[in-house]
Amino acid sequence: MKIDKESIKKIAHLARLEFDEKSAEKMSKDMSQILDWVEQLNELDTTSVEPLTTMSSEINDMREDKGGVHLAKEAGLKNAPKRDTDYFRVPKVLE
């Protein structure tokens, strides 16, 4: 599949990329090669291949939830350097 310069310019605008004409020509060639490769993959018969849900073969070791003793909020706030009735006070992160 051939990608023209106009498509490259549109994709670059959407992706907020900037490059010169020489780079646009190389990008067009590279993207065309990628799409040709994907088209080759579409030609393969994958009807007998099960889809993957994960790339890892590890199995989660789940444990049973158990209730336990929790720290009372007064005890948790007792040693806080800054607090506001029921909450910890922390410095602003965003302005």
Q: What is the DSSP string of 37-94?
A: HHHHHHTS--TTSPPPS-S-----------------HHHHHHT-SSEETTEE----S-
As to burial, measured by CB atoms within 10 angstroms (0-12 exposed, 13-18 middle, 19+ buried), residue 60 is exposed
What pLDDT does residue 76 have? 80
Q: Is residue 9 part of a domain?
A: yes
Q: How confident is the model at residue 15 (pLDDT cuts 50, 70, 90)?
A: very high
Crossing angle of helices 5-14 and 21-42, rounded to 10°: 90
Please report whether residue 22 resides in a domain: yes
Query: Stretch 74-93: mean pLDDT, rounded?
Result: 85
pLDDT at 52 over 80: yes
CATH number at residue 12: 1.10.20
Asked, for residue 54, whether it belongs to a domain, the answer is no
Domain that holds residue 30: 5-42
Cα end-to-end span (Å), the chain: 47
Position 67 in a domain? no
pLDDT at 37: 92
**Alpha carbons 94 and 81: distance in angstroms, whole number:** 21
The number of residues making up the chain comes to 95
State the pLDDT confidence band at 70, using cuts at 50, 70 and 90.
confident
> Which whole number is the average pLDDT over 46-68?
85
Percent with pLDDT over 90 in the chain:
16
